[in-house]
Amino acid sequence: MSVVYNLGLATRVPLGEGMTFIVGGRTVAVFRTRGGTFFATQAECPHQRGPLADGLLGGNVLVCPLHGYKFDVKTGLAMGHACGSLKTYPVELSDRGELLLQVEDS
Ligand code: FES
């Protein structure tokens, strides 16, 4: 079963950046591309737990702030390295412009 969390107004996340949220006992990074699309992934890099929300975001490509490993924030797939993919979470906007994040019940 999955649970939907309301993270508040989407404008909290600046364009082209990420923000970390704690939901249901886990940390999730929500990203807003410069094109205005939202994606959500696990908050810690699978390499050495770098804070992914602080990484550089160019289009759908996220660069980890610690060692520069790249990931596709849309699919979570690792790009050019074998460190593993990111867990991704469905995120959408409510009619009132709030972020609705869906996670599996644990
Ligand atoms: S911790 Fe992310 S690339 Fe090393």
Residues of the domain holding 10 = 2-104
Q: How far apart are alpha carbons 67 and 26 in whole angstroms?
A: 23
pLDDT over threshold 80, residue 36:
yes
Give the tens place of pLDDT for each residue, 38-86.
Answer: 999 999 999 999 999 999 999 999 999 999 999 999 999 999 999 999 9
Q: How far apart are alpha carbons 73 and 4 in whole angstroms?
A: 20
**CA of 63 relative to ligand 1 center, distance in Å:** 9
3-state secondary structure of 3: strand
For a mutational test of ligand 1's pocket, the pick from 47, 85, 86, i.e. the residue with the most ligand atoms closer than 8 A to its C-beta, is: 47
Q: How far apart are alpha carbons 37 and 32 in whole angstroms?
A: 5
- The pLDDT score that the predictor gives to residue 104 is 86
Domain count, the chain: 1
- The pLDDT score that the predictor gives to residue 39 is 98
- The pLDDT score that the predictor gives to residue 94 is 98
Question: pLDDT-based confidence at 13, cuts 50/70/90?
Answer: very high
- The pLDDT score that the predictor gives to residue 24 is 86
**CA of 94 relative to ligand 1 center, distance in Å:** 33
Q: Are strands 26-32 and 38-42 parallel, antiparallel or unpaired?
A: antiparallel
- The pLDDT score that the predictor gives to residue 16 is 95
**CA of 70 relative to ligand 1 center, distance in Å:** 9
Give the tens place of pLDDT for each residue, 95-106.
Answer: 999 999 999 876
CA 94, 99, 103, 106 torsion-angle sign: negative
Which of 32, 37, 43, 47 lies closest to 80 in space, CA to CA? 47
Residue 65 CA, closest ligand 1 atom number = 2
- The pLDDT score that the predictor gives to residue 80 is 96
- The pLDDT score that the predictor gives to residue 106 is 64
Three-state SS string across 22-72, please? EECCEEEEEEECCCCCEEEEECECCCCCCEHHHCEEECCEEECCCCCCEEE
What CATH number corresponds to the domain at position 59?
2.102.10.10
The residues lining ligand 1, judged by C-beta closer than 6 Å to any ligand atom, are 45, 47-48, 50, 64, 66-67, 69
